[in-house]
């Protein structure tokens, strides 16, 4: 791997920002650059670096894929409006759900349901319409490393998956934070003025709630796992974990409602302690918190009769199930 | 329901034993009676009551269905040998696995894979060969109640499921402990001289490990959940829980081995606090115990990359997943 890491210890935040702003300015020139915000800290930092570099020559889009958390598109747009950055919401829900229909394999979900639709069906059109020559991406050092190791195919690492963006899509790709792991990205996030809600936000990957559904992804299943995710945000936001998530299982389990049998699904809760996502251990949540999560989820989320908490470390576990 | 409960408070153990022994003696007369031991406390108590009543006119069988825990048939036979009771092991593994092939619905598993094979293919033959006129069963009060409520179809309650044993199979059924819930059954177990390993044994239902596999049951999956069950027995036997279990999920999740991606299965651990199985809450196991279980299971059980602990109460959860 030719990319060199800048560790948190070695990072000079102000100098890093200055260098990246300069490089973006030079690469874009008087052209238009385009980027997509996912709502996570990585793409948020890239947006701020690019906005500092080229101002209104940056077109930032939030692709509403139908897989986002409750109220997420509006919230993101609001945060950036406060920072002077205009973010345009693009409604592409139907395209994503059509591509995800019948797909159960996790790799296929990411590749056909997310990557291909995102780039070929949605983003390529935006690039053409906007007249942009440069695409900015929030690829970080851990993404590169895991993709190189074959652990997973990141949805945002063109070169690693053998696609030449210049040839395939006709534009140039910049990855300003590719040398940083998450703690360093957060340090830059604070320095570029992003609010704490973004700079300290637990990771939430590009495929969003799609990666939180085992088996075929449908609008109903996304609605179910979205409701469970709201409950986790209520109960776990203050725990200070690296990341937490609700996962909807495909397996059915026996439940009991109103004195009779009720087959239903299970929500699995994961909450991770980690510094860089390479290794992780489950957070020792108070048992009362786990019981409260279970009571709320089985009461408030239709179709859910059972709740588990993941207690295995990465490796051999992974942080995401899908 | 016409059966009247005898509560633990109302139970006079010595008088109960005397009454049941007398009733069995009268019902069997000089005939042969037959019963099947599952390894649980219910069928063990019935065996001892019947042995006290009719001695060697009782034929007790242990049906090896291939779904039992590690070393279980030999262990059971050994315990009863020490009590003077001869138990014959009947190898019926192939019949059970043939009937379970391709069956994924939990009700069908119990009905076609267990109940039908047990009674029609295996037990009916034993009754004919033995010349028995009376069948003794370990149905308890909670079984009756749950079957009547439609929560689940117990594998051992003929009448509740509309089968007339006299007409269908040609023999008479006695259910000596049908008025007792589990704590009362355990009190009787101690009084009839059963060792603590049996009298205090957490419940393990008739369908055995079959009820611990979500989806199709195969010899490989049974071997997997059997290995996980041995680890739970090591780590949880001294916790004093009402019941605990390892469940093999059908869903696949992403894991990580030797730096590369490894798709695998998940084992769900359940451990219950309950007095009568009608309601139950998850045991507050120390986090270190949960982590140790996860480390051992992901290390020692091939194909398992992830481990969860169930944290939802019954209802709306059930104690068993299948």
Contact between A176 and A136 under an 8 Å Cβ cutoff? The reply is yes
Whether residue A257 lies within 8 A of chain B, CB to CB, comes out as yes
Using a CB–CB cutoff of 8 Å, tell me whether B315 touches chain A: yes
Q: What is the pLDDT of residue A135?
A: 86
Predicted local confidence at residue A276, as pLDDT: 84
Structure confidence at residue A161 (pLDDT): 38
Nearest to B115 by CA among B160, B154, B165: B154
Low-confidence ranges of chain B (pLDDT < 70): 1, 147-171, 204-206
Angle at CA A254, nearest 5°, toward A250 and A256?
130
pLDDT of A71 above 70:
yes
Pairing between β-strand B134-136 and β-strand A172-174 as defined by DSSP bridges: unpaired
Percent of chain A with pLDDT over 70: 91
C-alpha radius of gyration, chain B, whole number? 20
Bridge partner list, B54: none
In this predicted structure, what is the pLDDT of residue B256? 93
Binary contact (B308, A305; C-beta < 8 A) = no
- B255: nearest CB among A281, A284, A316: A316
Q: Which of B281, B295, B312 sits opposite A307 (nearest CB)?
A: B312
Q: Which pLDDT score is estimated for B150?
A: 62
**Cβ separation B260–A149 shorter than 8 A:** yes
Q: Please give the Cα distance from A229 to A231 (Å, whole number).
A: 5
Mean pLDDT of the residues in chain A: 89
- Crossing angle for the helix pair B13-28 and B182-191, to the nearest 10 degrees: 80
Measure the CA–CA gap between A169 and B191, rounded to whole angstroms: 80
Query: Residue B255: its chain A contacts at CB < 8 A?
Result: 315-318
Identify each DSSP E strand in chain A by its residue range. Answer: 33-36, 58-64, 87-91, 134-136, 172-174, 243-257, 260-273, 281-282, 304-310
Q: Which residues of B touch A146 (CB under 8 A)?
A: none
What's the pLDDT at B264? 95
In contact, A73 and A128? CB cutoff 8 Å: no
pTM: 0.76
pLDDT digits (tens, 9 = 90+) for A138-169: 989 988 787 666 655 554 445 443 456 566 65
CB contact under 8 A, A315 and B282: no
Q: Which residue of B has its CA nearest to A214?
A: B251
Residue B165: per-residue pLDDT: 58
Q: Which residues of B touch A269 (CB under 8 A)?
A: 311
**Alpha carbon of A186 to those of A25, A42, A60, A176, A275: distances in Å?**
22, 8, 20, 14, 12
Cβ contacts below 8 Å, chain A against chain B, sum to: 162
Residue A135 to residue A34: CA distance in whole angstroms: 5
**Chain B contact probe: residue of A106, A318, A320, A322 with most B CBs at under 10 A:** A318
Interface contact flag, A317 B309, Cβ < 8 Å: no
Q: Does A163 lie at the interface with B, CB-CB under 8 angstroms?
A: no
What pLDDT sits at residue B166? 60
Look at B254 and A106 and tell me if their CB atoms are within 8 Å: yes
Mean pLDDT of A194-200: 93
Tokens of B266: 């998940």
Instruction: Report the pLDDT value the prediction gives residue A158, as an integer from 0 to 100.
Output: 52
Neighbours of B277 (CB within 10 A): 21
- Closest residue to A254, CB basis, from B250, B298, B322: B322
């Amino acid at each position: 791997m030719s990319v060199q890491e800048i560790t948190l210890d070695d990072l000079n935040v102000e100098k890093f920002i200055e260098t990246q702003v300069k490089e973006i300015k030079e690469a874009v020139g008087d052209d238009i650059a385009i980027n997509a915000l996912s709502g996570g800290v990585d793409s948020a930092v890239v947006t701020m670096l690019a906005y500092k570099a080229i101002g209104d020559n940056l077109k930032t889009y939030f692709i509403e894929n139908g897989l986002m958390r409750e109220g997420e598109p509006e919230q993101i747009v609001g945060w950036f409006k406060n920072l002077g950055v205009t973010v345009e919401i693009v409604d592409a829900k139907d395209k994503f759900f059509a591509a995800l229909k019948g797909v159960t394999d996790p790799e296929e979900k990411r590749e056909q349901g997310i990557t291909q639709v995102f780039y070929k069906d949605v983003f390529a059109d935006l690039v053409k319409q906007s007249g942009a020559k440069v695409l900015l991406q929030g690829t970080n050092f851990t993404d590169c490393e895991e993709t190189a190791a074959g652990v997973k195919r990141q949805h945002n690492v063109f070169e690693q998956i053998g696609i030449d963006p210049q040839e395939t899509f006709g534009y140039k790709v910049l990855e300003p934070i590719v040398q940083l792991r998450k703690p360093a990205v957060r340090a830059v996030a604070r320095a570029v003025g992003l609010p704490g809600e973004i700079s300290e936000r637990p990771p939430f990957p590009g495929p969003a709630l799609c990666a939180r559904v085992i088996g075929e992804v449908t609008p109903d299943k996304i609605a179910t796992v979205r409701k469970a995710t709201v409950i986790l945000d209520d109960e776990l936001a203050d725990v200070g974990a690296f990341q937490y998530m609700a996962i909807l299982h495909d397996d059915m389990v026996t439940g009991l409602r109103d004195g009779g049998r009720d087959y239903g699904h299970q929500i699995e809760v994961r909450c991770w302690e980690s510094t860089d996502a390479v290794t992780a251990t489950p957070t020792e949540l108070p048992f009362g918190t786990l019981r409260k999560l279970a009571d709320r989820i089985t009461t408030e989320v239709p179709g859910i009769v059972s709740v588990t908490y993941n207690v295995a470390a990465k490796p051999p576990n992974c942080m995401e199930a899908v």
